[in-house]
């Protein structure tokens, strides 16, 4: 154990992270020994009691050290140095060379489009694993123009990339408030209560139906969990690269979700079949037969068209809301124009 940890008072350690408090309490109810340095506290533990709790002193020390180093790695400044991501071509499904050399800068939003089965998720997977020619596509991903070091790729703190996959299933038995408070504590954010409140407010803005802070995360609907994870990623995650595999269902306000992520100076890559999302990026990567076949910059005229599409989308969202509320739609706003 390093001297710094040995000398730190138990009181200080347990205040740093909820999991440490939980762990130390399991080993020994803390009240009387809070002022002890951690090293002395470990020596004072009753081995019988420890083994009843399914622990031993060495395991306890290692776990505390791991939690502290994870919290350190996920601090906002841990990846402050990321400036670009470069994708270098591999081969398509037929083994033909892929002509790809794309540098993506922080702040850019890149959409990935292409038919079903064309390789959109594979491309996201390559970025998630920071592939080095060792995935089925043979692509290489560079961070700041160079191959990432193995600790970034394989370390337990691979926080460079956050991936929001299509299925979000919670397994922990916590309320939304407890879950987010724990995440805020792991990230050591300043004013955690207000950040947590902001995440909940944002998630409720994105989700079709509202949920309360006391709702158990396992009780959230698909759309609500997705909205919660998007808001959490935008406001609480330290990862500067965010990968999103489709924001599909349940009436999530997709435009607002993307705006939330764009505002955070991250690199965002989103695989989508949705025309509005596809046009919201700075560029779109077109994938076919397992390789990138084109990279298209969103033009001024396309952005203009996007506004039209967003107007139509707002109409559809409004109809959806009305129908869900059991209302009729004969009296909808006539300014909707041609579709009605
Ligand atoms: N370059 C490649 N070389 C070999 N296999 C590939 C390559 N690209 C994609 N694949 C494989 O092709 C299959 C379909 O790809 P993927 O799931 O990425 O498609 P998709 O575009 O995301 O599909 P969907 O739109 O239906 O989600 C996967 O098994 C994937 O691993």
Instruction: Give tens-digit pLDDT for 70-88.
Output: 666 555 444 457 889 999 9
C-alpha 121 to ligand 1 mean position (Å): 6
Tell me the mean pLDDT in the region 114-131: 94
pTM of the model as a whole: 0.72
Residue whose structure tokens are 């967003």:
310
- Report residue 193's pLDDT band, with 50, 70 and 90 as the boundaries: confident
Q: Name the residue at shortest CA distance from atom 26 of ligand 1.
A: 116
Residues with CB under 6 A from ligand 1: 91-93, 114, 116-122, 136-137, 290-291
Instruction: Give tens-digit pLDDT for 320-338.
Output: 888 988 999 887 765 655 5
Mutate to test the pocket of ligand 1, among 87, 124, 136, 291 (most ligand atoms within 8 A of CB): 136
| Closest atom of ligand 1 relative to the 91 alpha carbon | 1
Instruction: Give tens-digit pLDDT for 164-174.
Output: 766 666 666 78
pLDDT in the model for residue 289: 97
Verify that 222 and 274 share a domain, yes or no: yes
Q: What is the CATH number of the domain that holds 107?
A: 3.40.50.300
Q: Assess if residue 139 is contained within a domain.
A: yes
Verify that 44 and 150 share a domain, yes or no: no
Verify that 139 and 212 share a domain, yes or no: yes
Mutate to test the pocket of ligand 1, among 87, 88, 114, 122 (most ligand atoms within 8 A of CB): 122
pLDDT in the model for residue 249: 59
| Closest atom of ligand 1 relative to the 90 alpha carbon | 1
Instruction: Give tens-digit pLDDT for 6-41.
Output: 888 888 887 777 778 888 888 887 677 888 888 898
C-alpha 112 to ligand 1 mean position (Å): 12
* Domain interval for residue 119: 84-298
Q: Assess if residue 237 is contained within a domain.
A: yes
Verify that 69 and 93 share a domain, yes or no: no
Verify that 39 and 185 share a domain, yes or no: no
Q: Assess if residue 5 is contained within a domain.
A: no
Return the closest-CA partner of residue 108 out of 278, 285, 272, 283: 283
Q: Name every residue whose Cβ is closer than 8 Å to that of residue 52 and which is 6 or more positions away in sequence.
A: none
C-alpha 116 to ligand 1 mean position (Å): 8
Do β-strands 109-113 and 283-288 pair in parallel, antiparallel, or remain unpaired?
A: parallel
Spell 226-255 as b/e; 16+ CB within 10 A means b: bbbbbbbbbbbbbbbbbbbbbbeeebbbbb
Q: Which position has the higher pLDDT, 126 or 174?
A: 126
* Mean confidence (pLDDT) of the chain: 84
Residue ending a domain, choose from 54, 74, 94: 74
pLDDT in the model for residue 71: 66
| Closest atom of ligand 1 relative to the 122 alpha carbon | 18
- Report residue 156's pLDDT band, with 50, 70 and 90 as the boundaries: low
Do residues 224 and 211 lie in contact, with contact meaning Cβ atoms separated by under 8 Å?
Answer: yes
How many distinct structural domains can be found in the chain? 2
Mutate to test the pocket of ligand 1, among 127, 138, 290, 293 (most ligand atoms within 8 A of CB): 290
Verify that 44 and 108 share a domain, yes or no: no
Q: Which position has the higher pLDDT, 331 or 43?
A: 43
- Report residue 113's pLDDT band, with 50, 70 and 90 as the boundaries: very high
Verify that 117 and 233 share a domain, yes or no: yes
How many residues can be counted in the chain?
Answer: 340
Q: Which of 1-10, 64-73, 307-316 has the lowest mean pLDDT?
A: 64-73
pLDDT in the model for residue 340: 43
Instruction: Give tens-digit pLDDT for 204-255.
Output: 988 878 899 999 988 888 888 888 888 888 888 878 888 988 776 556 777 7
Verify that 26 and 167 share a domain, yes or no: no
C-alpha 47 to ligand 1 mean position (Å): 53
């Amino acid at each position: 154990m390093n001297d710094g940890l040995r000398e730190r008072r138990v009181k200080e350690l347990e205040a740093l992270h909820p999991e440490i408090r939980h762990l130390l309490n399991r080993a020994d109810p803390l009240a009387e020994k809070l002022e002890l340095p951690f090293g002395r506290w470990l020596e004072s533990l009753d081995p019988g009691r420890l083994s009843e709790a399914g622990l031993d002193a060495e395991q306890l020390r290692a776990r505390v050290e791991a939690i502290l180093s994870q919290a350190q790695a996920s601090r906002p400044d841990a990846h402050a140095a990321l400036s670009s991501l470069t994708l270098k071509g591999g081969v398509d499904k037929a083994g033909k060379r892929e002509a790809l050399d794309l540098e993506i800068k922080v702040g850019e939003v890149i959409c990935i489009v292409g038919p079903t089965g064309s390789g959109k998720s594979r491309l996201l997977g390559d970025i998630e694993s920071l592939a080095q020619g060792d995935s089925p596509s043979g692509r290489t991903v560079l961070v700041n123009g160079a191959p990432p070091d193995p600790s970034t790729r394989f370390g337990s703190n691979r926080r460079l990339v956050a991936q929001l996959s299509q299925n979000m299933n919670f397994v922990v038995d916590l309320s939304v408030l407890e879950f987010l408070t724990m995440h805020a504590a792991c990230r050591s954010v300043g004013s955690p209560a207000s950040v947590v409140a902001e995440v909940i407010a944002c998630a409720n803005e994105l989700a079709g139906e509202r949920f309360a802070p006391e709702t158990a995360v396992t009780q959230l609907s698909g759309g609500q969990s997705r909205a919660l994870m998007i808001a959490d990623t935008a406001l609480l995650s330290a990862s500067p690269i965010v990968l999103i595999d489709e924001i599909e269902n349940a009436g999530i306000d997709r435009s607002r979700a993307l705006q939330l992520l764009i505002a955070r100076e991250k690199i965002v890559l989103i695989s989508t079949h949705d025309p509005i999302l596809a046009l919201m990026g700075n560029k779109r990567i077109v994938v076919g037969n397992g390789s990138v076949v084109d990279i298209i910059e969103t033009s001024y005229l396309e952005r203009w068209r996007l506004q039209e599409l967003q107007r139509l989308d707002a109409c559809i969202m409004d109809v959806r809301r009305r129908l869900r509320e059991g209302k009729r739609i004969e009296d909808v706003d006539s300014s909707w124009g041609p579709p009605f």
